[in-house]
Structure 1
């Protein structure tokens, strides 16, 4: 395109080579395609800064994506900093096909006191999208048995396979990377070879390879996440499959819009659903998409951590500025238009305390090189989240991975979580190796899903429409053609079953249901409202009962998980008494005591320079820092982020007001041995009855341990002559072990990589003086030899266990009262104790 127009176009981003950057600095292009983070870096570059003075146009593609996160807040100030360089206004152009409130996004891009104009395309694009579901066939059930998967999972995979084969090029969108990988695996198991996976965790090379193969027609399908939602050119796409509800109208329009992407073209696709909730939610989103009713964008206003970073950037760029000059510049950006002088002073004071800036009279300047290091280390506002590998402690095999924030907030010794359909109990966490050791546990009402990441929240108005649809369907059985008969009948059947046990929760009825030690509050209010309500109710009952109340939340209900069963009628009574003011007070008083607050607070501290970018998250230190920075901008910013991203306080207050006025009814039901159908989706996340395999039986655990220990290799050394050093498998040990050189039975057992012990034995035999650590190692070897002399092969078996030395082995062998199985269980307990406590050893 550039050659045709005689325009020199170049790209610059984090992967651009140093030589290419150097060429751009010497000879800049007419048009530079870049990222917000790269713009931050070149604004303070000595040569590039001079070239930027000639900028007259800025184009922001997919502006709606930037406007709703902190990258956009950062960009809004960067544009005002750019204006300081150009000295004249440049034209700002935002592009997007999916904007809920164009005027608001235009104001975000333009900043304050600037004229804006909105151009709407006259292009009429058709939208053909349906809601689909599957009913497993006999063939699906047979294949499911062979693959070890639920029949419904196989049926959905087969449906996707058929749809891919029926079209030339298909994108399959999922909401999580886990779903993408699982679908690809299932399709391969069904014999589909012309599909690949595309998501952000894959290397750039693998993603580009998949894009190229798809574009060239060598792939019929790509299974992807939001990685292919925007912008990337992958050629013609004629069909879209959305696996489960996309949860947002905006996301649905963006994804379906990848097909038929031509002037006057028609976008075609299907939402393949997995549950009655999924069916109705998808129907609501399609209806809203056809009416052009997109979600209201949530813009982060007055993000103080971003402001701190930008102040350093401003001072690096301008060298010196007064607080008044900084305020004037920052207030031109839309997110900071209402920033007050005292708020700016607090941020400047924090930067001064952190020794990132210095004051000269009434002006401020950066403290270099510390300020430069801080600025470039924090160009990205996206947290660096590491992955922990989860290992089955007994089988010594890898199970999967957990995000660092989940491990930090949830994985203490004894905690339970669900991963790959199994409940696991944490034995230990190794923060250096990034390992979590676990053991299989029985189904538990307090276990939490380990795969739950930051799922896109369903907003209150969408969830409320699903509630209204439930009411309509229950009353008339019709939905004005929104759903085909099979899907409508599935949703109707679930509602009919619900009506036999209790009322149907809707936009006009909140149902409080007791089941075992959980109380489920059915509210069609969306994820963020339900998070706020769940937090407030957990705080209320936690203080009254003197114990922690666990919670679980989705868009249509929240659960309070008590240590013992409680009455749903009592919970309903307290919920009905909760006023909007009570809710806000409760959340404000308790929010900073949560694990999530400590996690977010840690990242805010990193972004303002109070915690090194290289520092690793430790829960205990993070909690201490919450107390240390209690009255700081970090505390205020963490609260702002939580209330913007995780808790819809205003929506929750609105629902409570409607309950108080009688516009929404509140009813309760106590279980009669089973939960209602509409409680199942949430209870299935607490204890996934349909997914969980039985907990590992004790007898099978013993077999696993026995097999592992007998196949373990030990290094045997003669401490009498020092001339024999051999390796033996435990299963091949003799009851009496002798040195083949001197025939002595003084044989020590150690681990294979213990290369220090042979030298220590030789030194001892030759009469040398041992150092303290060497003496300790020698005594361990001596005790090990004594055990092998006395107990033979059984001593080798016990010492083959992880973390079991001669002292522990002696105790286990001396205290044996039962048979062989009891010995294996004793070994298991010793291994588990070692894992649990080794992080505290010196």
Structure 2
């Protein structure tokens, strides 16, 4: 019996907390971790993954501490992608350790320096930390690192999928490799996630030397059922219609709900309109029930909202971006609402998992679409979820920007590294093992020539430029942070807003659920001063683009060209889907065929290839068109590419397809890729540290991030094409 495997103190703790039973993931994890085997714990949100990892680990540590020597050194390193998640998990772990002699420390910018330094003088127990704080620790406390890490027995990576899907994950992978130099024994690797599409990638990530030794524990979510419905309300003048707002209000007014949106602007607009609706219907007695939650709202206000969601039993709705998609505890919910389609299946699964947290409870999700494409995409993503498909992680390969960063960090951490030793270290690091050796040497020589590195007493150390960069506050993270203005109303920090030419006195901005007029901008202090606004002028807000995976794009096309009914569609949504299918049929769409629609002055290729493949296709076409000198330009939308601005020669569609097949089959696309890239004026360096690198290396990085040429090559050869004459509008 699982319970009996745990130490007596942990057993008593479970009795005191009045647990009735273990969850499936806890039943699976306890015996594996007690045997100190690497594992990947896969289970839905609120399934008890944190306890599944820590119950056996704490049992093992407690038994080790009873050997007479006590608990010596740091034993558990817990890495999390979010400070807020660390704060939340700290409370959960502290409830398990408060009767044990196992210290627990969280380490991030909100924790006092004195507390950190006191612990660092005598490290022990459990350390919770972000990748950026860990990098800072390795670089700034080099003399203490060996003693700090030598006794680590367990390394836990929470929300592992969030690392696998980003450059931060590559950074973490490199950090793990660097740390193992100091750790006396191979640590037990533990990954926690609700959504990983390819467990084998996670296994290799956790233990690259022997991936098969990582056990995948995925016992399922028991008997929980999913209840969902999708509805449609078209936008009015690019704003959310009041009929939609009223429908959401009626649905959520008596419930505890989280309402997900895909942008901060949408969060603020919807929050404002929902509270306006409540005030009109409820009159003077109405109390605010809808609160916004996103990265630009002041941290204190976000934490207050999270606390309210955890503690209240009254109807309350938080309107959020993906800031509440990960495992931050906000208590039990009655309902999850999604406005417009998620961009990924993984995201939909994370959000759906927010409901049904109570024992025996089911999950309830209400989806709303405000545009045709969002409705079709919502159906496609939902069907892929039902098919149990999730986007596989696709880590970058040409990570010369991260290599540049890690060379500087490593040479600082080791207080100098011999050149041959540095090259061996790079080759052994799984983050960089796939890089071309000549290119690595080329980058290294360039870093010497540009004074990023220098040699002192035979060892490579940061040069003047490198030292300046390493000592900057922004060195420790590998992701870009946009330039921000603080938004102040008197002495109150409302939040932040991205700097842009649209931010100027007289403009209005929605932030923290209210509308504000900008009265003054202090560029030196990066501060915007505001007062409450009541004029109803539509506020400014910038939103980023969205990436669509090829599998989702393919499924969207299948929905357009299919005849299947979906019983979760509201009649409004069902009728809108039929109209969308009718329009697709009129455009010539049919299963298994891609359409090129030729007009007199334009040609549209309805590709449905996915964002990165389409970007590669558009770039190659730009290069080709420059060579042909036809005066045509390339315009992209989510699922099509249009050539316009000049006369379309007869038979041009066939010529285009022949060109694509031949150039991609011969792998001769590089010429056109280069020509097409030079024609694109927008955008800067593709990543944070790419801006320091030579232009040719920046181009390699940009191509991999923005354009999937290999995927395009395969896609083009698999397609059947149909050309139709007529308007391509």
Matches within 5 A, 1:83-232: 83-113=180-210, 115-124=213-222, 126-134=224-232, 153-167=241-255, 169-191=256-278, 193-217=288-312, 220-232=316-328
CA displacement at 1:99 relative to structure 2: 0.2
Q: Which residue of 1 aligns with 2:589?
A: 504
Question: Who wins on radius of gyration, i.e. which is larger?
Answer: 1
Cα distance change of structure 1 residues 647 and 553 upon mapping to structure 2, 3 Å threshold: farther
SS in 1 for 2:180: helix
Question: Paired residue for 2:709, among 649, 655, 666?
Answer: 649
What is the deviation of 1:292? 1.6
- Measured on the aligned residues, the alpha-carbon RMSD in Å equals 3.3
Q: Which residue of 1 is the match for residue 561 of structure 2?
A: 471
> Do the aligned partners of 2:631 and 2:646 also contact (CA within 8 Å) in 1?
no
Task: Give the count of matched residue pairs.
Answer: 581
Structure 2 equivalent of residue 458 of structure 1: 548
Structure 1 residues 76-103: Cα deviation after superposition (integer angstroms, max 9, x where no partner) = 1111111111243212211101000011
Supply the distance in 1 between the matched residues of 2:116 and 2:176 (Cα, whole angstroms): 21
Contact 1:128 1:268 in 2 (8 A): yes
Task: Name the CA shift for 1:451/1:528 in 2 (closer, same or farther; >3 Å).
Answer: farther
Match of 2:129 in 1: 34
The answer to whether 1:491 aligns with 2:573 is: no
Once the two structures are TM-superposed, the CA of residue 121 in structure 1 deviates from its matched residue by 2.8
Tell me, in whole angstroms, the C-alpha distance in 1 between the residues paired with 2:111 and 2:135.
15
| Residue 267 (str. 1) matches residue 363 (str. 2) | yes
The TM-score, its normalising length taken from structure 1, stands at 0.63
Structure 1 residues 95 and 156: CA distance shift in structure 2, 3 A: same
**Cα distance in 2 between the residues matched to 1:151 and 1:451:** 13
- Judge conservation of contact 1:129–1:286 (CA < 8 Å) in 2: no
Quick one: which of 471, 476, 495 aligns to 1:379?
476
Task: For 1:294-305, list aligned pairs within 5 A.
Answer: 294-305=390-401
CA distance in 1, matches of 2:320, 2:418: 49
Which of 387, 408, 412 is the matching residue for 1:312?
408
Deviation at 1:236, TM superposition (A): 1.3
Task: Map Cα deviations across residues 395-428 of structure 1 (whole Å, 9 max, x no partner).
Answer: x732669xxxxxxxxxxxxxxxxxxxxxxxxxxx
Partner in structure 1 of residue 615 of structure 2? 531
CA distance in 1: counterparts of 2:658 and 2:431, whole angstroms: 37
Give, in whole Å, the separation in 1 of the partners of 2:503 and 2:207.
54
**Residue segments in structure 2 that go unaligned for 5+ positions in a row:** 1-94, 280-287, 484-497, 511-521, 528-539
- The 5 A counterparts of 1:205-354 are 205-217=300-312, 220-262=316-358, 265-354=361-450
Correspondence for 2:723? 667
**Distance in 2 between residues matched to 1:392 and 1:567, nearest whole Å:** 45
Deviations along 1:346-395, one digit per CA (max 9) or x if unpaired, are 232232123233235764234479526525541111113223444599xx
Q: Deviations over 1:174-220 (max 9, x none)?
A: 11111111111221232263011000111211211221222222661
Does 1:574 find its partner at 2:656?
yes
CA change 1:432–1:290 in 2 (3 A) is same
Match of 1:557 in 2: 640
Q: Distance in 2 between matches of 1:16 and 1:334?
A: 32
Post-superposition CA distance 1:211-249 (Å, at most 9, x none): 122222266101101100102111112211111110211
The aligned counterpart of 2:44 is none
Sort the Cα spacing of 1:523 and 1:568 in 2 relative to 1 into closer, same or farther, 3 A: farther
Partner Cα separation in structure 1 for residue 99 and residue 558 of structure 2: 54
Q: Cα–Cα, structure 1 residues 368 and 496, in superposed 2: closer, same or farther, change >3 Å?
A: closer
Match for residue 25 of structure 1?
120
Q: 2:624 aligns with which of 540, 543, 547?
A: 540
Cα distance per residue 1:553-580 (max 9 Å; x no partner) = 21x22233x3456469635642443232
Q: For 1:124, what is the secondary structure of its paired residue?
A: coil
SS in 2 for 1:23: helix
- 1:55-112 deviation digits (Å, cap 9, x = unpaired): 2211110111112211111111111111111243212211101000011112112233
**Are the structure 2 counterparts of residues 470 and 567 from structure 1 closer, same or farther at C-alpha, using a change threshold of 3 Å?**
farther
Deviation track 1:677-712 (CA, whole Å, cap 9, x = no partner) reads xx6xxxxxxxxxxxxxxxxxxxxxxxxxxxxxxxxx
The DSSP-based 3-state class of the residue aligned with 1:599 is: coil
- 1:469 is paired with a residue whose SS is helix
Distance in 1 of aligned mates of 2:678 and 2:309: 48
Cα distance in 1 between the residues matched to 2:349 and 2:699: 32
Relative distance call for 1:359 and 1:116 in structure 2 (3 A) is same
Provide the rounded CA distance (Å) in 2 between the counterparts of 1:122 and 1:363.
Answer: 52
Contact 2:622-2:679 within 8 A present in 1 as well:
no
SS for the counterpart of 1:250 is helix
* 2:104 counterpart of 1:13: no
1:288–1:131 Cα change, 3 Å: same
Q: Shift of the alpha carbon at 1:481?
A: 4.1
Tell me if structure 2 keeps the 8 A contact 1:100–1:296.
Answer: yes
Alignment correspondent of 1:56: 153
Residue 299 (structure 1) shift: 0.8
Per the normalisation by structure 2, the TM-score is 0.72
Contact 1:131 / 1:282 at 8 angstroms: preserved in 2?
A: no
SS at match of 1:510: strand
| Offset at residue 657 of structure 1 (A) | 1.3
* 1:426-472 deviation line (CA, Å, top 9, x unaligned): xxxx999999xxxxxxxxxxxxxx97744341111111122122222
Q: Is the 8 A contact 2:233 2:368 kept in 1?
A: no
Q: Separation in 2 of the partners of 1:9 and 1:349?
A: 44
Within 5 A, what are the aligned runs for 1:608-627? 608=692
Partner residue in 1 for 2:507: 398
Alpha-carbon separation, structure 1, partners of 2:437 and 2:587:
56
1:502 and 1:318, CA in 2 relative to 1: closer, same or farther beyond 3 A?
closer
